Amino acid sequence: MRKIRLIDTTLRDGMHAVSHQLTPSQMAGVAAGMDEAGVGTIELGHGDGLGGSSFQYGFSRATDREYLTAVGRVLKNAKMDVLLIPGIGTIEHLKEAMECGATTVRVATHVTEADVAEEHIHFAKRNGLETVGFLMMSHMASPEKIVEQAKKMESYGSDIIYVTDSAGAMVPDDVKARISAVKNVVAVPVGFHAHNNLGLAIGNTLAAIETGAEVVDGSVRGLGAGAGNAQLEVLVAVLAKMGYVTNVDLYKIMDVGEQLVEPLMHRPIVINNAALCIGYAGAYGSFLLHACRAGEKFHVDPRDILIEMGRRKTVGGQEDMIIDVAVELAEKKHQGGR
């Protein structure tokens, strides 16, 4: 029976869905439950990773150090994982995370910009961390381009290469083409991170597994940016039915969802109109709440903002562009009305 490694992102990607407002003790509670349920790797922190707390992305309730320290105290078996996006977080941030007990780091770049991660991956490997190269917004590049970037990530020393559907914009054939292309050229395991904006998070994850992915992401109750991630407890059930081994206890992870995660959620994770537009337009998942707020402030439809963000080929992290787009749309609307 084939074994699939699951990485949980409830406490990192899920932070987007709660505007980065979980407290360290809330995180510790959820993390302890997941550890007990058999989740092997738990990613946590601000939604935009180390150093993400900012005006641009929203300030988190607590600091990276406070979150990591609180979670580090309760974990018995699970690896503690952090996200590092070069340009936002730095090696100094990573050193701090290591002091707090992080053992795995995912170094994330836009799918065409792997070379900005070279220094960070080298540093992480030299210091004994498990290091994952994480290619975001993979729907924006062809399989050939992704292959070139995946090879770079591997050459820097990544232990795993991820194809990341940050916009939840891929359909299963897109996933298959990218995963199999990467799988063919790298020697290390390949991973996949899904978003559910088109209702395909579980389906795409299965497509990734069928074409060779050995590591996949999920989050409890789907808590994540946009319409959320592949719902972890659903993934555990589906993979069990298909005969894959995950080591996660289904009842226990369901209980984590109902008893620990649900009470912390600001709203149910559903595919609302704005989230659907993110998937349809291929815009970055965490633009969702920012576009809704800008839509309200400038009296424009958030769907129009998100579609325009996709049309302009914005990349992850360009939340500041939402204001520009909203202002321009508002001006256009105003002119049209006269």
Which residues does the annotation mark as catalytic?
A: 16
Place of tokens 């924006």: 140
User: Is residue 314 close enough to count as binding other proteins by CB under 8 A?
Assistant: yes
Q: Which one, of 193, 165, 197, 170, lies nearest residue 303 by Cα?
A: 197
User: Which position among 22, 27, 71, 88 is part of the footprint of other proteins (CB under 8 A)?
Assistant: 88
Q: Which two tokens stand for residue 235?
A: 């993934």
Rounded CA gap, 32 and 256, in Å? 9
State the burial class of residue 232 (Cβ atoms within 10 Å of its Cβ: 0-12, 13-18, 19+): buried
User: Which position among 81, 134, 317, 325 is part of the footprint of other proteins (CB under 8 A)?
Assistant: 317
Give min distance, CB of 270 to other proteins, in A.
Answer: 28
Beta strand extents in 12-103 (DSSP E only): 41-44, 79-84
User: Which position among 19, 23, 56, 103 is part of the footprint of other proteins (CB under 8 A)?
Assistant: 56
Q: Which one, of 26, 21, 69, lies nearest residue 46 by Cα?
A: 21
User: Is residue 147 close enough to count as binding other proteins by CB under 8 A?
Assistant: no
Q: Which one, of 186, 185, 221, 182, lies nearest residue 201 by Cα?
A: 221
Classified as helix, coil or strand, 220 is: helix
User: Is residue 63 close enough to count as binding other proteins by CB under 8 A?
Assistant: no
Q: Which one, of 17, 3, 2, lies nearest residue 220 by Cα?
A: 17
Neighbours of 2 (CB within 10 A): 10
Region binding other proteins by CB under 8 A among candidate stretches 11-19, 257-265, 271-279, 318-326:
318-326
Angle between helix 287-298 and 273-281 (nearest 10): 120
Closest CB to other proteins among residues 88, 194: 88
Give min distance, CB of 286 to other proteins, in A.
Answer: 13
Region binding other proteins by CB under 8 A among candidate stretches 31-39, 63-71, 83-91, 299-307:
83-91
User: Which position among 177, 185, 188, 323 is part of the footprint of other proteins (CB under 8 A)?
Assistant: 323
Query: Which residues in 7-46 contact other proteins (CB under 8 A)?
Result: none
Region binding other proteins by CB under 8 A among candidate stretches 88-96, 173-181, 222-230, 302-310:
88-96
Closest CB to other proteins among residues 137, 236: 137
User: Is residue 324 close enough to count as binding other proteins by CB under 8 A?
Assistant: yes
Parallel/antiparallel/unpaired status of strands 130-136 and 79-84: unpaired
Closest CB to other proteins among residues 12, 152: 152
Query: Which residues in 91-130 contact other proteins (CB under 8 A)?
Result: 91-92, 110, 112-113, 115-116, 118-120
User: Is residue 266 close enough to count as binding other proteins by CB under 8 A?
Assistant: no
Q: Which two tokens stand for residue 299?
A: 């009296």
User: Is residue 320 close enough to count as binding other proteins by CB under 8 A?
Assistant: yes
Rounded CA gap, 206 and 169, in Å? 16
Region binding other proteins by CB under 8 A among candidate stretches 24-32, 53-61, 197-205, 269-277:
53-61
Query: Partners of 132 in the beta sheet?
Result: 106, 160
State the burial class of residue 89 (Cβ atoms within 10 Å of its Cβ: 0-12, 13-18, 19+): buried
Give min distance, CB of 186 to other proteins, in A.
Answer: 21
User: Is residue 292 close enough to count as binding other proteins by CB under 8 A?
Assistant: no
Q: By the 8 A CB rule, do 4 and 239 touch?
A: yes
Applying CB under 8 A, the residues found at the interface with other proteins are 51, 54-56, 86-88, 90-92, 110, 112-113, 115-116, 118-120, 312-315, 317-318, 320-321, 323-324, 327
